Structure 1
Amino acid sequence: MKKNQEGELLKSQVKNTELGKEIFEKYMPKKDLNRKAADYMEKHVSVKTISRFETCSSWFQHLTNKEMSVKRLHKTDACGNRFCPICTWKKAKKDTIKISILMEAVKEIEGKEFLFLTLTAPSVSGEELREEIDQFNQAINRLFQRRNVKRVVKGYIRKLEVTTDQEKYVTEELYKRKKDYYDYRGLKVGDPNPTYNTYHPHMHIIVVVNKSYFNMPSEFISKAEWLGMWRSCMKDNSITQVDVKKVRSTKTSNSNAVLEIAKYSAKGNDLYHSEAVFDTFYMALKRRQLIVYSGMMKDYVKKFKDGKLDRFKKENEDEYTHLLQSVWKGSTYGSKLRELTQEEMEMYNERAKFIEEGEDID
Structure 2
Amino acid sequence: MQVLDEAHKQRKTGRFLFLTLTAENASGENLKQEVRKMGRAISKLFQYKKPAKNLLGYVRSTEITINKNGTYHQHMHVLLFVKPTYFKDSANYINQAEWSKLWQRAMKLDYQPIVNVEAVRSNKAKGKNSLIASAQETAKYQVKSKDILTNDQERDLQVVEDLEQGLAGSRQISYGGLFKEIRKQLQLEDVDAHLINVDDDKVKIDEMVREVVAKWDYQRKNYFV
Same fold by TM (over 0.5)?
A: yes
Q: Distance in 2 between matches of 1:212 and 1:151?
A: 9
One-letter identity of the residue aligned with 2:104? R
Q: Distance in 2 between matches of 1:277 and 1:301?
A: 34
Matches within 5 A, 1:206-355: 206-249=79-122, 251=130, 255=134, 257-259=135-137, 261-264=139-142, 266-273=143-150, 274-305=156-187
Q: Indicate if the aligned counterparts of 1:272 and 1:278 stay in contact, CA closer than 8 A.
A: no
Match of 2:39? 137
How far has the Cα of 1:253 moved from its partner?
Answer: 9.6
**Stretches of structure 1 lacking an aligned partner (at least 5 in a row):** 1-97, 167-195, 307-362
Q: Distance in 2 between matches of 1:151 and 1:253?
A: 23
One-letter identity of the residue aligned with 2:41? A
One-letter identity of the residue aligned with 1:106? A
**Larger of the two Rg values belongs to structure:** 1
Q: Indicate if the aligned counterparts of 2:59 and 2:176 stay in contact, CA closer than 8 A.
A: yes
One-letter identity of the residue aligned with 1:269? K
Q: Distance in 1 between matches of 2:145 and 2:130?
A: 25
How far has the Cα of 1:138 moved from its partner?
Answer: 1.5
Q: Indicate if the aligned counterparts of 1:163 and 1:267 stay in contact, CA closer than 8 A.
A: no
**Stretches of structure 2 lacking an aligned partner (at least 5 in a row):** 123-128, 151-155, 189-225
Between the two proteins, the alignment pairs up a number of residues equal to 176
Q: Indicate if the aligned counterparts of 1:119 and 1:203 stay in contact, CA closer than 8 A.
A: yes
Q: Deviations over 1:87-137 (max 9, x none)?
A: xxxxxxxxxxx3xx4223322331211111100011121111111111111
Match of 2:26? 124
Q: Distance in 1 between matches of 2:164 and 2:131?
A: 29
Q: Deviations over 1:227-254 (max 9, x none)?
A: 1111111122323421011111375996
Identity %: 31
Q: Provide the alpha-carbon RMSD of the alignment.
A: 2.3
One-letter identity of the residue aligned with 2:169? R
Q: Deviations over 1:131-182 (max 9, x none)?
A: 111111121121111122211211110000000013xxxxxxxxxxxxxxxx
Q: Distance in 1 between matches of 2:10 and 2:34?
A: 38
Instruction: Give the TM-score of the pair, scaled to structure 1.
Output: 0.45
